[in-house]
Structure 1
Amino acid sequence: MNQAGRDAEDRALALLQAAGLRLVARNWHCRGGEIDLIMRDGASLVFVEVRHRGGDRFGGAADSITAAKQRKLTLAAEVYLSSHHLDLPCRFDAVVSVGGAAPQWLKNVFTQ
């Protein structure tokens, strides 16, 4: 991950924590993929994809969360839940940013 990606992830984490979410894991990896942030929002577990683009010339950051990326995130989330023996309500959120603009938190961007 480059510095811009690390900075975007740091800003995303700060945004979510300011909203009351609690960090569970960061950059969790498994064979099927990676989850940028895993957060706790009350009784729910939130799998967060962080996307940053320098500009919107090739589409916005949210547009880059393709169906293929959603499948990878879903698989990684299933592996996380299984490996930690968890049965909790879950959702998939995204924190997106373009250029120097403030990050936007998009809740429940897709369902499993």
Structure 2
Amino acid sequence: MISRTIGWDEELHQQEPCFPERYTMVYRNHDLIGFFAIREASEYLYIHTIQLVASFRGKGYGTTLLQHIENIARTKNLQRIYLSVFKENPAQKLYQRLGYKPIAQDEYLIRMEKLLEAN
């Protein structure tokens, strides 16, 4: 999706992850099935990226992963989660189903927000 929209920058890609401490690997039965990266701000959590191996998409892992991220936000007493998603990314439907609402967009991306209920 990056190549088809904003363009691929190999040099920039080789520098990732710039903040490896933000990345969490996701395993199933000792097999790496994906990863995610989040950034905590004073009043919200930002999902930088979620990546799942293609064969594990559409099987509930994304939902479970997003619920896990929401639990992280709650333990930190954060009541908002933000993310950006490419307009053509089918994961948009998952985000909307889980309560994320579009709040802004540009040519390529939709910015979404989820408000978490206070504990």
State the TM bucket, normalised to the shorter chain: 0.3 to 0.5
TM-score normalised by L of structure 2: 0.38
TM-score normalised by L of structure 1: 0.40
* Greater C-alpha radius of gyration: 2
For CA contacts below 8 A with separation 6 or more, give which structure has more relative contact order: 1
